[in-house]
Amino acid sequence: MKKFNLSGGFVFSRAMLILTSLFLGLAFNAPFLILLGIALAIILPRQFAKSGFSNIKMLNKALCAVTILSFITSGILLGRSNTQVHNKNVATQTSSTMEKNKEEDKSKLEQEEKDKKENLEKAKKQEEEKKLAEEAKRKQQEDIAKQKQIEEQKVKAAVAKNSQQSNGQSSENQGVMVWLSETGDKYHSKPNCGRMNPKNARQVDLSSAKKSYAPCKKCHPPV
């Protein structure tokens, strides 16, 4: 029975076992498979040597086939894993984008509601201020019109009073008689005032006398 050369014959086999465990460990995200492959690479050659196994070429081919198969499998699994990770990232990003858009829409809607409320309150306040201004203007115009009416009434009353007084004085003056001297510029209450000659004195009504004569300061006629 031919014995194995542990230092040379199983080097390739050991390498294949380690590569296989490495691929499978990466594919399944299982570090323990890598450790298991390394342990098998150390233990199995010794077990084969003890059992008298002699067809090392067949073993190497089998291990090579297993390594290639594990490489293909790990590639497929890694591709799927990457695809899943990518899809998950895309889904997470999409979800994050949707959530962000949702928050933005909510914030935008709240801001629109706030602006709408503020605009309504502003319009209401402006309308109230406009009404107050119109009411104040109307009251001011009414006060001005009332004051103007009062002033007009006062003027009319004063004119009527003056007219009445003038008419009264005129009537009163027409009923009062005074005396005029022949040569003087005064009118008197009696025909013999001072140096007046009663024979030459003449009597006229007060209103006529006041047009051309002044009242005498001695006898104090009516004015």
- pLDDT (tens digit, 9 = 90+) per residue, 145-201? 889 888 888 888 888 777 666 555 555 555 788 999 888 889 998 988 888 888 888
| Phi, psi for residue 98 in degrees, rounded to 5 | -65, -40
Listed by start position, the domains of the chain span 1-137, 171-215
pTM value > 0.85: no
Cα–Cα separations (whole angstroms), residue 37 to 32, 76, 219: 9, 20, 161
Hey, what amino acid is at 99? E
Lowest mean pLDDT among 12-16, 116-120, 131-135, 143-147: 12-16
SS3 string, 60-110, reads HHHHHHHHHHHHHHHHHHHHHHHHHHHHHHHHHHHHHHHHHHHHHHHHHHH
pLDDT reported for residue 160: 77
pLDDT-derived band of residue 5, with 50, 70 and 90 as boundaries?
very low
pLDDT reported for residue 126: 92
pLDDT of 3 over the 50 cut: no
Cα–Cα separations (whole angstroms), residue 113 to 102, 107, 110, 116, 200: 16, 10, 5, 5, 109
Q: Where are the beta strands (DSSP E) in the chain?
A: 177-180, 186-188, 202-205, 214-215
pLDDT reported for residue 216: 92
Residue 148 CA, chain-centre distance (Å), reads 46
Longest CA pairwise span in the chain (Å): 203
pLDDT-derived band of residue 2, with 50, 70 and 90 as boundaries?
very low
End-to-end alpha carbon distance in the chain: 179
Q: Please choose, from the candidates 143, 210, 144, the residue with its C-alpha nearest in 3D space to the C-alpha of residue 173.
A: 210
